[in-house]
Chains A and B, each alone.
Chain A
Amino acid sequence: MVVTVALDVNPDHARPWSEAARPTHPCIVDTTHASGAAFGFSNIPMAVWIDEHGVLVRPAEAASIERSPLRDMDVPEGLPENLTAMLKAVKEIPDDGEAYRAAILDWVAHGSASRFVLSPDEVVARSQPRNDDEARAAAAFELGDHLRRTVGPDAAVPFWREAHRLHPLNLTYKRQAWTLVTTAPDATENDLMQGPNEVYDTNLLDDVLGRGGFGAFIVRPQL
């Protein structure tokens, strides 16, 4: 069974996308990004596998299951410079979609005998590193979100800046923060460019290009 969790502080941002997919599986929303800290999600899409006994048999890893058409698209000429750069960066995203999809289907067919099932020790060992900075980033993000709700948007900013500084490869902390300040209040969709802003030191395109591409943020599945 598939269960999807939207890491969105506002369920109304995720709901239209979820409803448009007409899902037949459970769909939940994680408005505090608690699942990120609990499972090790640092980007999206990522997934874990949980067996019939409630035991993780694969840790958090990138979970694309098909090749994005953007990867094979010719970037049209004449687009704004930043959009061209973004599309070129998207085309370079490492693509493990077909292999990951095949691995899931193998697990469905063969259960614990699947070669993609890891032992409990392997699951823990392959889970993402977590040092004090990364754990502190999770606490700072949660505290910022709490203050955003109880005090106001500005109260979140110093804590979310700190979360970004402490865990620079966590893209969900960043994209969540950026999109809230770059999306117009009356917009029907998020600003996916999450462009330069006056609130945070970084933005999506500059951060991605500065780290050599989206691949720096992707936990590729070791299949």
Chain B
Amino acid sequence: MILDRLTTSVADFTRGTGWEPKPEGLCRGEICVPAPGALDDDTVNVKIAAERLGMPIVESPEHGVFALGPATLGGKALTTATAPDPEFVTYDGSPFRLSSLRGKKVVFVAWASY
């Protein structure tokens, strides 16, 4: 997730990380991680949230921009079997989410031109 400051809205944090800030903590699937101080009304303190979820922050001071990495909670690429649902685009630029295919089995295949 790309940021120009270390605070963001709940909606943007959820969209960017898949973790939804709630009063009880940072939640994804069946997992909620307590994160006192991370949420103030609609504002997420990214530094606190990142520490709780084990998300590294990489910065380019020259360009005033940060990247928030994925969670390392549990030491695995997945913290839950609930499928991530980031927004992708089709080749014509239309938005696409895997959740639009609920009710069907999906084999989600990564490939590349290189």
Question: Do A and B actually bind?
Answer: yes
Q: Which residues of A contact B (CB under 8 A)?
A: 1-8, 11, 13-15, 17-18, 26-31, 34-41, 44-57, 59-60, 63, 104, 107-108, 111, 120-121, 123-125, 127-132, 134-140, 142-143, 146-147, 150-151, 155, 159, 162, 172, 175-176, 178-179, 190, 192, 194
Of all A-B residue pairs in the complex, the 9 with the closest CB atoms, nearest first, are: A40-B77, A139-B69, A120-B81, A143-B67, A127-B78, A38-B84, A179-B114, A139-B67, A136-B56
List residues 45-74 of chain B with CB under 8 A from any CB of chain A. Answer: 54-60, 63, 65-72, 74
Residues of A within 8 A of B37 (CB): none
Query: Which of B58, B72, B88, B101 is the one whose CB lies under 8 Å from A35?
Result: B88
B2 touches A135 (CB 8 A): no
Residues of A within 8 A of B102 (CB): 52-54
Query: Which of B1, B76, B84 is the one whose CB lies under 8 Å from A124?
Result: B76
Query: Which of A1, A15, A139 is the one whose CB lies under 8 Å from B91?
Result: A15
Select from chain B the residue with minimum beta-carbon distance to A124: B78
Bound-state Cα–Cα, A40 to B70, Å: 10
A140 touches B88 (CB 8 A): no
Report the contact-size class of chain B (Cβ under 8 Å from the partner): 35 or more
Bound-state Cα–Cα, A136 to B86, Å: 19
How far apart are B5's CB and chain A's nearest CB, in angstroms?
15
B112 touches A130 (CB 8 A): no
Q: Do A54 and B111 form a contact, CB below 8 Å, given A26-B96, A40-B77, A142-B2? A: no
How far apart are A202's CB and chain B's nearest CB, in angstroms?
15
Residues of B within 8 A of A120 (CB): 80-81
B75 touches A50 (CB 8 A): no
Select from chain B the residue with minimum beta-carbon distance to A104: B107
Q: Can you list 8 A-B contacts with CB-CB less than 8 angstroms, sorted by A residue number?
A: A3-B98, A3-B106, A26-B101, A35-B88, A45-B111, A121-B81, A143-B67, A178-B114
Bound-state Cα–Cα, A142 to B70, Å: 11
Bound-state Cα–Cα, A63 to B66, Å: 33
B67 touches A142 (CB 8 A): yes
Query: Which of B91, B107, B114 is the one whose CB lies under 8 Å from A192?
Result: B114
Residues of A within 8 A of B1 (CB): 142
Residues of B within 8 A of A142 (CB): 1-2, 67, 69
Residues of B within 8 A of A14 (CB): 91, 112-113
